[in-house]
Chain A
Amino acid sequence: MTRAHRRPARGGRRTTASRTVETAPAAAPRDLAAPEPATPADLVVATADPSLLRMLTFALDQMRLPHQSFTSGTVVLQRLLDLPRGGRPTVVVLDVDLPGVDGHAILERLGSERPDEFLIVVLSSHADESVQVRSLLAGALDHMAKPFNVRVLMAKLHRWVTIARHYEVAA
């Protein structure tokens, strides 16, 4: 049994991610080394673009990265705020164009209410300097303009999930 399956659940956000673990193929992609299986709470994806969501889900499954997905800004914000404080940071892939509360508003809210508890990468159709600076100043770890290279994003997520895991160990 992997470390991920042995770990106790944190809050009520495990079901979807656990399903992702079960359906993930056993083989790792050819040239992207998969990280060791992580807990289902490691990664949250929020986008209202169904095609993008399918691509990210496919890529995360290939990487064997358990994740939860959301298509509404209001719901994802509430779920992130409901997470228990402390512990390992959660990596969040956040599309700016979300219905309800948009990505920038979520970023600013998390920055003010739960600073340093999330490692957030912002996805946006805008590559303008001002939009990127706004994301980064609001606390995002990275800003990727669409269309982005999904393999690069996966490599970054792999790295950040590993860092998040070590962060918890250190704490």
Chain B
Amino acid sequence: MLSLDVLAVALTVEGTLIAAALGGLVVLRLYLVWRARQVEAGVARLEPLLHAWLVEDADLGAVVAFLRAQPPHVAFRSVARLATAYVTFERQQILAPLLRGEPWVQRILRHGRSMFWWRRFDAARLLSIVGGPDDVTMVAALLSDRSPAVRLVAIDAAARLGGRLVDLELDSLPGRQDAVQQYQFAALNRHPAIVAEALVPRLRPEVPAVMLNAWIDAAGASANPVALWRVRDLALHEAPEVRLHVARALRRHAEPETVPVLLKLLTDDDWRVRAQAARALGALRVISAARPLALAVRDRAWWVRYRAALALAQIGGEARELLLEVSRGSDPLARDMSALVAGLSSAAVVEMSEV
């Protein structure tokens, strides 16, 4: 009898706890739905004010006053959603100083040192829109945050603020994964002049190859001519990996002096360098490179033949004639490759050349 009583009590306690947990989940869900609806309503009301500013150059005071009247989470999420999607960087620069001193902004930014990553994430995201010179220390801390999500968002904030933060970002580049590097390049490209100034002194042959490669890639992504001149000077670097990155970056450097450098790299000992040089000559549409590229279609490495044939197709005109000529030649490997590429549509050639 006693054991049945104990079992009944245990079941009652267990049932109560399960019911409480389920009730808690329901309440939490309703709370989140309510907050999401609040944000949606905020976005819908902010939108026309923002449109009036973007289209007619209307007074920004209405936007600032509206946001001040909203709960902080509504103001933040509305701005984050609309500003990042529809407001250009130049316009964000006008918006930022007006919002930076607002109480709701201060409140979100106080979370920059929170123990919860999602609060630090919100602070970093807001800094990427409203950050100013006073926020450099906080952004620097968020750049080395223990959460990768926070670090990624902080890159945008750092690029926005420039200066010492750009140096910090460039120094962190070699240790980042490729996908994060690409994100960093896109963020850094908002400050091409500052980034070029910071990159040039780093592009020296004595720098370790791992770091040099990341910075060469950054110079290529920026397409900044000053930085790419320094990259071009590294074309004879002893490390093939560096020459490979140089050849890849130079496809963004459309200057006559680049052509002889790329033609030299087209005969490099390393097949990866030759392939990237062919790709760059195609991207730059160097018509004078048509004959060397036609020779490269006969290369012993499949990848070089592929890149050279694509480059000829990209250049078009006389280069395409040469490609067709190779497709009728006696070299079976060159013949197959050129016939394959000659059959591609122009859209496919552009798409495949970039991959």
Please list the residues of chain A having a beta carbon within 8 angstroms of any beta carbon in chain B. Answer: 29-31, 51-52, 54-55, 58-59, 62, 104, 108, 127-130, 133-134, 137-138, 146-151, 154
Contact = CB atoms under 8 A, between A and B. Distances in A.
B347 interface: yes
Q: Is the interface of B mostly helix, strand, loop or mixed?
A: helix
B88 A130 contact: no
B97 interface: no
Nearest to A130: B354
A31 B57 contact: yes
B55 interface: yes
B31 interface: no
Interface stretch (B46-54, B113-121, B155-163, B287-295): B46-54
B350 A59 contact: no
Q: Is the interface of A mostly helix, strand, loop or mixed?
A: helix
A11 to B, nearest CB: 29
A52 B85 CA distance: 9
B351 A51 contact: no
Given A128-B354, A130-B353, A147 B87 contact: yes
Contacts of B353: 130
A29 B56 contact: yes
Nearest to A151: B55
13 contacts: A30-B56, A51-B47, A51-B82, A55-B47, A55-B51, A58-B52, A62-B56, A104-B347, A130-B350, A130-B351, A147-B88, A149-B90, A154-B55
B346 interface: yes
B137 interface: no
Contacts of A148: 88
A150 B53 CA distance: 10
Contacts of A127: 186
Contacts of A108: 347
